[in-house]
């Protein structure tokens, strides 16, 4: 949380966004879950990843965190696709996004998709 100058109105406002260390910590948790997955089915692994992502997103949901959310979402998609390509032992690992599309990741496997940012309510609404 920090105070930032608004360029248009020459006023300060509070910018609430996750720090870089918070993003790296959640990425490390996802990496460890995938690393220790073993022969666990993909749906079970996605359920574990969803619990981590749900808690992290709900904590940082209020504020200006859409950029951090997109970074973590892209990282999670990449790691899950990499795991699936390794399990299928395909020679061309760079085409994982074609074989396992977003519809498969989010529809069939059930990867977490609620990355919406809620606007911060003003102090007048709490009175």
pLDDT in tens, 23-68: 999 999 999 999 999 889 999 999 999 999 999 999 988 878 889 9
Label residue 127 by pLDDT band (50, 70, 90): very low
Asked if pLDDT for residue 8 goes beyond 80, the answer is no
pLDDT of residue 121: 64
pLDDT of residue 115: 83
Rounded-to-10 torsion of CA 100, 59, 117, 124: 170
**CB–CB of 35/28 below 8 Å?**
no
pLDDT in tens, 66-121: 899 999 999 999 999 988 888 877 656 556 566 788 888 888 998 998 887 776 66
9 vs 103, more confident: 103
pLDDT of residue 79: 94
What is the phi-psi region of residue 38: left when phi exceeds 0, alpha when psi lies from -120 to 50, beta otherwise?
left
């Amino acid at each position: 949380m920090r105070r930032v100058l608004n360029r248009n109105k020459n006023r300060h406002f509070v910018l609430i966004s996750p720090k870089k260390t918070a993003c790296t910590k959640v990425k490390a948790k996802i990496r460890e879950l995938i690393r220790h997955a073993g022969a666990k089915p993909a749906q079970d692994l996605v359920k574990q990843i969803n619990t981590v992502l749900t808690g992290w997103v709900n904590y940082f949901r209020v504020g200006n965190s859409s950029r951090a959310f997109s970074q973590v979402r892209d990282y999670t998609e990449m790691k899950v696709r990499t795991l699936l390509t390794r399990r299928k032992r395909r020679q061309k690992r760079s085409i994982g996004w074609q074989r396992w599309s977003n519809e498969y990741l989010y529809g069939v496997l059930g990867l977490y998709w609620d990355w919406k940012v809620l606007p911060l309510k003003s102090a007048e609404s709490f009175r």
